[in-house]
Amino acid sequence: MIPTRAADVVVVGAGAAGLHAAVQAADGGASVLLLDADVRPGGQYHRQLPVEFGAVRPERAHHEQPAAADLIARLARHRRVTQRQQVTVWAAEPRVGGGALLHLADVSSGRAVNAGVIAAPRVVLATGAYDRTLPFPGSELPGVYTPGAARALLQGARIVPGRRVLVAGTGPFLLPVAAGLIEAGARLAGVLEANHTRGWVRRPRAMALAPEKVAEAARYTATLTRHRTRVRAGRAVVAVEGDGRVQTATVAKLKPDWTIVPGSEKTIETDAVVVGYGFVPQLELALALGCDTEPGPDGSPVVAVDDAQLTSRPGVYAAGELTGVGGAVLAAAEGALAGLATALDLGTLGERGHAARASAWQGARARYRRFADALAAVYPVPDGWQSWLADDTVVCRCERVRYGALRDAVESGATALGTVCAATGCGQGRCQGRSCGTAVAGLTATLSGVDGPAELPDPLALSVRPVDTPIPLGELADDPDRPE
Amino acid sequence: MSDDDERGPYRVVDDPVEPTAEPIGEIVLDGTAVSLRPGETVAAAMLAAGRVGWDDGRGAVFCGIGVCYGCLVTVNDTPSIRACRYVARPGDVVTTAGHGGTR
């Protein structure tokens, strides 16, 4: 049963940010309700193996596992923390007096089952991010996976997605995915980094900001080297082919703007293509609560927060990737600071106690925010990917909207995202634009001749989701109770 | 497909994490029994059995974390279950036809 009398602080999401927010708030004297949609706490980065696997050496699945596992165990024993897994917040509205009313659904059955509304006088949104995907010819074929899927399957189920796995895209996250696959005995068909970079590890300023990450990246690179695999920069998967599933991929050299170097295309055999271009923060609950946004490290919108991780709305805090994608260390620091701020606001933690506990986290946050900016500069996503598309390339996976239809809509006069989506069906399917949102916004901006998605009349149209999780209407007819 | 042995997903062999749990039973996937390890999602059991594409000609695991809704299946007559999020129970009857088309 989910308590309808909420705690002092409700934390949404049990990834790096949410776990640290919960423990700091609770250590600071607050009662905490920690909600998470997944089966186990940990989020994407700290994903835990099912205990039922009975793994003797679970730490081998993840270099960061012991520390995260310790934190998760500590929270489970904490007398001021109540944890609910497989519970999702499917809608949120501002609460009079601050915080939020959160509409909950139990998703343990695989469907969303209405679980009532709770009042959260203080809420920490720690909803994280998911992989940013870009369409290319054949990308809807079975056998194409996001890096997050490859990692979830490996870390959470010990499954390798194919016999010859091709890892591609951009960003530092490709390295742990490739190294994890190799350590599990997978054969890789290649690791392709679309940007012309030898990686942030060659940048002294970025290295100085994140010594922990230098060591981690060095371990991944050593794993690849031991298995005679290296990251090939300036290359991408520009198409995949196959009869009902991926059988081959077309890889090509890219110019710095990501258009294809003519004549560089090669066909390689692969049965699993793992491809991702960074991450999209999950903003919908923050947007539903009316939180202001600002441009993040890569220019796309993120939730604006102050030094206490407080958003523009009273009692609504945000931490982790939704304030700017920066990885688990930054998320942990932001989460800890948000948790401490809630305890200070509640009055169970005094000014001096707060200052003493917050200072180390503030230093880490400052360092890793600069590191996030450096990463965004090293791993941009220039518009040249749009030239890989053909008229019949599927842009929206849910509604099978093709590039030609999107172009026709813009050429017929649709310039706002909302109009383009209404005309084509993009973003109107079951994922509500999560998968295609970045691509549709980028394509619409280019086709309508404006300088990037931020210049569109409604840049957040594909980020707003009043109903975050599809919930059967019948579930809503019987509203258990509604506090306040 | 005749070349399934050379293609497609598989459970890690000689796994360095040293799992000790034995399969706890089977689920029925489009009429065929496939083995289930404890804690596995429907998606994990399906992929471990070599199933990459669904019978509706569209479905597949893509995001793996509950975001894309591309892996919808019917479990015990309940439609629209995200295979990547639902932890399977022995005896579950899973079908993959019927989620294609609009919405």
Whether pLDDT at A62 is above 90: no
Is pLDDT of B39 > 50?
Answer: yes
Contact B16 A184 (CB under 8 A): yes
Residues of chain A with Cβ-Cβ distance to B18 below 8 Å are 55-57
Q: CA-to-CA distance for A10 and A26, rounded, in angstroms? A: 11
Look at residue A1 in the predicted model and tell me its pLDDT: 42
Residues 6+ apart with CB under 8 A from A343: A9, A24, A25, A27, A28, A29, A30, A349, A354
Record: contact B67-A431, CB cut-off 8 A: yes
Separation CA B73–CA A85 (nearest Å): 22
pLDDT at residue A350 greater than cutoff 90: yes
Most confident of A43-47, A470-474, B71-75: B71-75
The pLDDT of residue B61 is 97
Q: How confident is the model at residue A3 (pLDDT cuts 50, 70, 90)?
A: very low
- CATH number of the domain that B48 lies in? 3.10.20.440
Asked if residue B52 is part of any domain, the answer here is yes
B12 domain-assigned:
no
A160 touching chain B per CB within 8 A: yes
Phi-psi region of A286 (alpha: psi -120 to 50; beta: other; left: phi over 0): alpha
Q: How many contacts, defined by CB atoms under 8 Å, are there between A and B?
A: 187
Residue B2 counted as domain residue: no
SS (H, E, C) chain B: CCCHHHCCCEECCCCCCCCCCCCCEEEEECCEEEEECCCCEHHHHHHHCCCCECCCCCCECCCCCCCCCCCEEEECCEEEEECCCCECCCCCEEECCCCCCCC
Best of B1, B4, B62 to mutate (most A CBs within 10 Å, chain A): B62
pLDDT higher than threshold 60 for residue A67? yes
CA distance A232 to A235: 7
Q: What's the pLDDT band for A472 if we cut at 50, 70, 90?
A: confident
Taking residue A139's Cβ as centre, other Cβ atoms within 10 Å add up to 23
- pLDDT surpasses 60 at A483: no
Q: What is the total count of domains within chain B?
A: 1
A63 pLDDT more than 80: no
Strand partners for A275: A168
Give how far Cα A376 sits from Cα of A9, A113, A182, A278, A372, Å: 32, 39, 27, 9, 6
Tell me whether residues A158 and B19 touch, CB distance under 8 A: yes
Identify the domain containing residue B47 by its residue range. Answer: 19-98
pLDDT of residue B71: 96
Give A53's contacts in chain B (Cβ within 8 Å).
17, 19-21, 37-39
Mark which residues 107-136 of A lie under 8 Å from B by CB: 107-111, 130-131, 133
Could you tell me which residues are beta bridge partners of residue A167?
A: A191, A274
Q: What is the pLDDT of residue A481?
A: 53
Total-model pTM = 0.94
User: Given A37, A55, A184, which is nearest B18 (Cβ)?
Assistant: A55
Q: Do A271 and B8 touch (CB under 8 A)?
A: yes
Q: In the numeric block, which tokens belong to residue B57?
A: 């000609």
pLDDT-based confidence at A130, cuts 50/70/90?
Answer: very high
Residue B95 has pLDDT above 50, yes or no: yes
Residue B102's pLDDT is what?
42
B82 contacts on A by Cβ (under 8 Å): 110
Q: Do A53 and B17 touch (CB under 8 A)?
A: yes
Identify the CA nearest to B77 among candidates B17, B28, B38.
B28
Q: What is the dihedral of CA A254, A258, A261, A262, to 10 degrees?
A: 140
Q: What is the mean pLDDT of chain A?
A: 92
Q: What is the pLDDT of residues A287-328, one digit of tens each?
A: 999 999 999 999 999 999 999 999 999 999 999 999 999 999
How far apart, in whole angstroms, are the C-alpha atoms of residue A428 and residue A436? 10
Third-level CATH fold of A9-130+280-375: FAD/NAD(P)-binding domain (3.50.50)
**pLDDT, position A136:** 98
What is the dihedral sign for C-alpha B80, B82, B83, B86?
negative
Q: Do A53 and B82 touch (CB under 8 A)?
A: no
Chain A residue at shortest CA distance from B60? A142
In whole angstroms, how far apart are CA A435 and each of A281, A404, A438? 12, 18, 8
Quickly state the pLDDT bin for A167 (edges 50, 70, 90).
very high
CB contact under 8 A, B62 and A145: yes
User: For the residues A434-457, what does the mean pLDDT come to?
Assistant: 93
Q: Rounded distance, CA A332 to CA A368, Å?
A: 11
Distance separating alpha carbons of residues A342 and A34, to the nearest angstrom? 14
pLDDT value at residue A208: 82
Distance CA A290, CA A311 (A): 9
- Residues of chain A contacting residue B19, judged by C-beta atoms under 8 Å apart: 49, 53-56, 158
In tens, the pLDDT along A223-263 reads 999 999 999 999 999 999 999 999 999 999 999 999 999 99
A470 pLDDT more than 90: no
Top pLDDT among A1 and A173 is at: A173
Sheet of strand A113-120: strand arrangement:
A87-94, A100-106, A113-120
| Within-domain flag for B6 | no
CATH number of this structure's domain A133-277, picked from the four choices 3.40.50.300, 3.40.120.10, 3.30.310.50, 3.50.50.60: 3.50.50.60
Taking each helix axis as running N to C, give the angle between helix A417-424 and helix A437-447, from 0 to 180 degrees, rounded to the nearest 10. 110
For residue A379, give the amino acid letter: Y
A153/B103 CB distance under 8 A: no
| Predicted local confidence at residue A215, as pLDDT | 84
What is the average per-residue pLDDT within A127-153?
A: 97
Interface test mutation site (partner B, options A109, A158, A182, A471, max chain B beta carbons within 10 A):
A158
Which has more confidence, A205 or A414? Answer: A414
Average pLDDT over residues A402-423: 94
Compute the average pLDDT of residues A325-337. Answer: 96
If we measure between CA atoms, which residue out of A421, A413, A414, A416 comes closest to residue A465? A421
The whole-angstrom distance between B11's CA and the closest CA on chain A is: 4
pLDDT at B1: 40
In chain A, what's the furthest Cα-to-Cα distance?
66
Which range has the worst mean pLDDT, A117-131, A203-217, A375-389? A203-217
Architecture (CATH level 2) of domain A389-455: Orthogonal Bundle (1.10)
Q: Are B97 and B55 in contact (CB under 8 A)?
A: yes
In chain A, what are the domain boundaries? Answer: 9-130+280-375, 133-277, 389-455
pLDDT band with cut points at 50, 70 and 90 for residue B103: very low
Lowest mean pLDDT among A152-161, A212-221, A412-421, B34-43: A212-221
